[in-house]
Amino acid sequence: MKINKIVIASALILLAVSLVPILMLINQWDSGSQSYGITTSDSQQIHFRWQDVNQQVHQYPTSAGTYTYLFLGFLSCSEICPIRIEQLNQLEQRIEQDASFNKAEVQFLFVTIDPDNDTLALRQAVIDARSTHFVSASLSESDLHQLELRLSDNINRQLATINHVGNLFLLNPNGQIARIYTAKQLSISKMLIDLNHIISSQL
C-alpha cells in the first residue's frame, strides 16, 4: 500500500514537471500564430529628420496611417543588405497582390549608414527607382547616431568594412516599433500575417 502511494506520488510529480515545458510550447505556438517577428513593450516613438535623394528634408513620422519597414544599411554591403532589399521587394509585390491590403499605406525606408559613399545617384538607382513605396534616406551624423542607439543596431565602423546587424523594423503610423525581424532569411508569408494583424489591431 505504501509502495503504491509512493508510485502514485512520483507519477504526479513527473506529470506536473512535464506539464511546464508542454504549456510553454503551447504558449509559444499560440503567440507565434499571431506574431512572426519579435514584439516589444517599448511604446516610445521613433522620430528623426532625414533627407531624400532630391535633398528635401522630411520629418519621420509624417504621413498619418503609413506603416514603415525601416532598415539601416549601406549599398556597398555584400552580405545582409542585398538580402533585405530583395525581401522588401518581394514583400511589396505580395502586398500589391493581396486585396486585404488595398487600403493600407506601406513604405520601405532605407537609411544609409554610409552617407559619404551612398551618393544621391546610387541611392536613387538602387532604392528609390524600385517604386514610389521605396525611399532612401540620409541623416545627419548626430541623428543617425541617435537612431542607431535607439534601435540597438550595433554598427561597427572601426573595421575595413562596416559591420552591422541588419535588423528589419516594422513601425506603426505613430512611429512605434511593432515588430523586429532579426533572421537572415525571412518568410514573406508570415510577415504578411504580422502586418495584417497589426493593421487590424489599429482599427
Domain ranges of the chain: 1-33, 48-202
Bridge partners of 111? 72, 137
- φ, ψ of residue 192 in degrees (nearest 5): -65, -40
Indicate the burial class of 89 (C-beta count within 10 angstroms; 0-12, 13-18, 19 or more): middle
Helix axes 80-97, 188-202, angle to 10 degrees: 60
Query: Which three cell numbers, joined as nine digits, stand for 58?
Result: 522630411
- Are 50 and 111 in contact by the 8 Å Cβ rule? The answer is yes
> Which pTM was predicted?
0.81
Residue 10 pLDDT: 54
Residue 192 one-letter amino acid? L
Walk along the chain (203 residues) and give the pLDDT tens digit of each residue: 555 555 455 554 444 434 333 333 333 334 444 589 999 988 899 999 999 999 999 999 986 789 999 999 999 998 899 999 999 999 999 999 998 898 889 999 999 999 999 999 999 999 999 999 999 999 999 999 999 999 988 787 777 678 788 999 999 999 999 999 999 999 999 999 999 999 998 76
Residue 170 near residue 67 (C-beta atoms within 8 A): yes
Q: How far apart are the first and last CA of the chain?
A: 62
pLDDT of residue 65: 85
Residues placed in the known binding site: 77, 81, 164
Instruction: Using CA atoms of 93, 97, 98, 104 in order, give the dihedral in degrees to the nearest 10.
Output: 60
**Binding-site residue ranges for Cu cation:** 77, 81, 164
Neighbours of 153 (CB within 10 A): 18
Query: Residues 64, 172: contact at Cβ < 8 Å?
Result: no
Residue 111 CA to chain centroid, in angstroms?
13
Q: What are phi and psi of 171, to 5 degrees?
A: -110, 140
- Class for domain 48-202, per CATH? alpha beta
